[in-house]
Structure 1
Amino acid sequence: MTLDGWVADTRISYDTVAESYADQVRHTLDDQPYLAATFALFADLVRRAGGGPVADVGCGPGHVTALLAGLGLDAFGVDLSPGMVEVARRDHPGLRFEVGSMTRLDLADGAVAGLLAFWSLVHVPDADVPGILAEFRRVVRPGGPLLVGFHVGDRSTHKTEGYGGHPMNVWVHRRPLARVGGWVRDAGFTVGAELLLDPYDPLPGGVVIAR
């Protein structure tokens, strides 16, 4: 896999912080009832569409993949960072994790029953998001659900340090719900919900659920 630009910067950054990032996020979903409800809805939509394998793209240390598996889904994780995949395999030995880039997934057309991108588009430049969503559309079978989570806002910041003080070199993009929803529709999905989480928090979250 030949990588350059933001893709290489993201991989190197998350290889560097893999252990400390995993420690920080391991229990972050334990008290998130609204996110829990969106995961349950996603799992129900997968089952309604006939079930099958589900890809957690940008899975990081695998905590969301494990949550999906706990909801009864045949979930597997894909992440750009070999360091993250190593941590995910160690922490969740019963699940499948692969190194791969969302810019070109190593999956056949219509290979998955659903796809989740949980805050994994936040480092992707605006110009590259439509192509990645088209790649998601390629691998999700007709009728299968897509869930995209992201930071809501309208600005980008350069992150040079994080997760235990380790060096990083990534841009973090905050985007309006309507912009992300529009990109998802343009990629060929039918948007069913655009949700704003923690609207009065300094860093609110957004979730787009589509088919």
Structure 2
Amino acid sequence: MTNDGKHGRVRASYDAVAEEYRERIGGELAYKVVDRALLGVVVEEAGGGVVADLGCGPGHVAGWLAERGATAVGVDLSPAMVAVARRDHPGVEFRVGDLLGLPAADGEFAAAVALYSVIHLEPEELRPAFAEIRRVLRPSGVLLVAFHLGTEVRRLDEWWGHPVDVDFHFLEVGAVAGLLAEAGFTVTARLERGPYPEEAETRRGYLIARRD
């Protein structure tokens, strides 16, 4: 399943900004102390197994995971983003794919991260997406999800000078935790934080969940 009709405008928007996104966002982990700590937890939980970066963008998180000894596989909806990721991180595998139909086998991954990728799904797509992530995780595999906190939907029709058409759905921690539970996960940790000076001024939510 590719969901070309539903997700085509998201794909086209990220294709349009891929190079500039890499320039502006590709170094973000240098100042994101909390994110680095949580990603470190994922690497340990994976125990040497493969870690999926779902919605990997230009591949900087997958590259960071690989530098810390993980075998990482990045997946992104945008072919342009995947091309940038392959160019900049040639030692990491990247695949084009949709969160509702991941290009991966059942139980292929020991752990997965989805950092600000589920925010582009419609509310009714979240539970199926989490069920699909559960499918590609091995039993007891760990998922780290990050998102903007709130209930609003922000639509961009221009991004860094590029015409786009993309929605950003802000989410509530309790609602996401409930959907994860319905999809077959047990939430083991919750965290909220304010923005770093270099970020957009939104509060951020993180959940770590284990596949039942």
Normalised by the length of structure 2, the TM-score is 0.93
Q: Which residue of structure 2 lines up, in the alignment, with residue 10 of structure 1? A: 10
* 1:75-90 pair list within 5 angstroms: 75-90=72-87
Aligned to 1:29: 29
2:208 is matched with which residue?
Answer: 209
Which 4+ stretches in 1 moved above 3 angstroms? 1-6, 199-202
Q: How far apart are 1:115 and its partner, in Å? A: 1.1
Deviation sequence 1:120-168 (CA, Å, 0-9, x none): 1111010111000000011100011001111111111111111x21111
CA distance in 1 between counterparts of 2:61 and 2:121 reads 20
RMSD of equivalent CA atoms:
1.6
After superposition, the Cα gap between the structure-2 partners of 1:126 and 1:197, relative to the gap in structure 1 and judged at 3 Å, is: same
| 1:166 alignment partner in structure 2 | 162
Instruction: Report matched runs for 1:102-113 at 5 Å.
Output: 102-113=99-110
Shift of 1:76: 1.1
Q: 2:68, 2:193 → 1: CA distance?
A: 21
**Aligned-partner SS, 1:130:** helix
From the two aligned structures, give the one with the greater strand fraction.
2
Are the equivalent residues in 2 in contact too, given 1:109–1:140 (CA < 8 A)? yes
Paired letter, 2:168:
V
Equivalenced residue count is 207
Q: Is the 8 A contact 1:6 1:124 kept in 2?
A: no
Q: Is 1:40 matched with 2:36?
A: no
Q: In the aligned structure 1, how far is the partner of 2:164 from the partner of 2:190? A: 30
Could you tell me which runs of 5 or more consecutive residues in structure 1 were left unpaired when the two chains were aligned. none
What amino acid sits opposite 1:192 in the alignment? T
- For residue 132 of structure 1, what is the amino acid of its counterpart? A
What letter corresponds to residue 164 of structure 2 in structure 1?
A: M
Distance in 1, Cα, partners of 2:162 & 2:6? 18
Aligned partner letter, 1:205: R
Counterpart Cα distance in 2 of 1:144 and 1:2: 24
